[in-house]
Every structure is written in C-alpha cells, then in structure tokens.
Amino acid sequence: MQPACPTHRATDLSNEEKVIRLKNLFVEAAQSVCPGWEVRSDSKEAINAIFYWCLGADGPLDPRKGLWLYGPNGTGKSTMLEVVRAFCRMIGRRDAWGRPYGFAITNATHICGEYSVGGSAAIEKYGTLRRQAFDEVGAEPTLSNNFGTPLNVMQHILQIRYDRRHTGDFTHATSNIDPEEIRTLYAPRIYDRCKEMFNFVYLGGKSFRGRLETHFAPPDPAACSGLPVNANMA
C-alpha cells in the first residue's frame, strides 16, 4: 500500500558527537567506493551540502528532491552517486515505505538501446522504479528507433517520473550538459519539470578518474553554519 502523502524524516542533528560520527561514516562510505578518497580544500562546501542532503537536513539542497549532478567529463559525478548510495545504506536511511534506501544506476545510452530492441515494454520499468539514477543523461541519441517507431527515450522517462513525483519516488541523474540544455534536448516543459524534481549540483575541477573533486554551485557558505565538523570535513 502506498502512503497518501509520503513524509520526509530528517536525521536528528542536535547532538554534535552524532554529527561527527556521521561525517566519519560518510568518509568511510566514500573510501569504500573510491579507495584513497579524501575531502579536498576546494570541495568541502559541495561535500557538506550532499552530506546534509543524505541526512534529510535543511541546507543548500532540498532533501525532497533528487540530485542532478552535472559538469565536465571525469569530475566524479557517477562516483558521487555511488557514494550517496553507500552512505545512505550505511546510516540505515529508509524510504517512505520503511524500506532501506537504495537505487539502481543505469546509463542513459544503454536504456535507449533497450528501447531499440524491445520497444516501450523494455523501458517501462525505468519510469516506475521507486528510486532510479540515470548516468550520462544527454549523451544518448536524441531519437531511438524501434522498428520504425522513433522515441526521445529520456524525455519520455523523465515525464513519467515527474508524474509520479508525489508517490515517494526519487530520481537522480548525472550529465555533462548544462541544465539549460535540457530545453533543447527534451523540450522546455521537461526542463521546468526537472527543476521541480532535482537539485542541480555542478561538479567541476580537474578531470581524473577514481577520485572525487567537486565544486558546489551556487555557493552558500552560511547554509550549514553552526554545524560541527570533524578534521576530515572541516
């Protein structure tokens, strides 16, 4: 049975020692995904913003929306989604139905290939899964063809997930395109829907694989002021 209106439960952050333990767990989760990972001086703001999003705390990112991570190639967007997934599992985050929080990460081009082979039935699951992340959105073909039936696959899926946004579903994405380009690739109405569904987070820095270097935009240093931090995430 689905809840009529899923509620959001934020983690209690009133205890300073608890917050420090949670930040240490975040680093542990990140290192389990990417050995040797560490918080860089130019990425603290981004890491803190995403950390508090994972806990459901108010801050720069709206915890009721998913994450749309965008930026140049090789700046850790896909890695960060894996870190978010690992950390949420580690802290025992639950969804609106009380189930462990997790999500699949599927490449957008792969989904288009599924449509070309199996048609709409093959991609239906991506519109209805409770939690789903799409990797490299915008790099896929604009139109995919299934035996003479063309479809803008990701536009179609994003529309379905928008229609289900009040049922407790979560959607995440990574992309190399600027969010404004969504207007051209998927239509202006899809861009407007994405603004309702996602926190747009820019991940920049040098291009390298296997490590994370991020920069949150726009910066808001006061958003998490007064919250304790440890040596790793000061």
CB 71 within 8 A of CB 212: no
Domain-embedded: residue 212: no
- The band of 45, judged by pLDDT with boundaries at 50, 70 and 90, is confident
Domain-embedded: residue 77: yes
Domain count for the chain: 1
Domain-embedded: residue 79: yes
Domain-embedded: residue 21: yes
CA distance 65 to 71: 19
Domain-embedded: residue 209: no
Q: Can you give the pTM of this predicted structure?
A: 0.81
Q: Of all helices (H) and strands (E), which one includes residue 83?
A: helix 77-90
Residue 117 sits in a domain of what CATH number? 3.40.50.300
- The band of 205, judged by pLDDT with boundaries at 50, 70 and 90, is low
Domain-embedded: residue 229: no
Task: Give the pLDDT confidence of 100-145 residue by residue, as tens digits.
Answer: 888 999 999 999 999 999 999 999 999 999 899 999 999 999 999 9
- The band of 198, judged by pLDDT with boundaries at 50, 70 and 90, is very high
- The band of 223, judged by pLDDT with boundaries at 50, 70 and 90, is very low
Domain-embedded: residue 32: yes
Residue 36, pLDDT score? 85
Task: Give the pLDDT confidence of 78-105 residue by residue, as tens digits.
Answer: 999 999 999 999 998 887 677 788 899 9
User: Lowest mean pLDDT: which of 45-54, 58-67, 149-158, 206-215?
Assistant: 206-215
Q: Report the pLDDT averaged over residues 32-52.
A: 83
Percent of the chain with pLDDT over 70: 79
Radius of gyration, CA atoms only, the chain: 18
Q: What number of other Cβ atoms are within 10 A of residue 195's Cβ?
A: 14
Domain-embedded: residue 75: yes
Looking up tokens 């991570």, which residue turns up? 69
Residue 124, pLDDT score? 96
Residue 207, pLDDT score? 55
Q: What dihedral angle (degrees, nearest 10) is formed by the CA atoms of 107, 29, 179, 132?
A: 50
User: Lowest mean pLDDT: which of 6-20, 140-154, 167-181, 182-196?
Assistant: 6-20
- Of 160, 230, 232, 215, which Cα lies nearest the Cα of 45? 215
* Alpha-carbon separation of residue 113 from 145, 161, 196, 210 (angstroms): 9, 20, 28, 27
Give the amino acid at 108: A
Q: Identify the three-state secondary structure at position 24.
A: helix
Residue 202, pLDDT score? 85
Q: Which domain holds residue 157?
A: 16-202
CA distance 149 to 168: 32
Q: Is the pLDDT of residue 218 over 60?
A: no
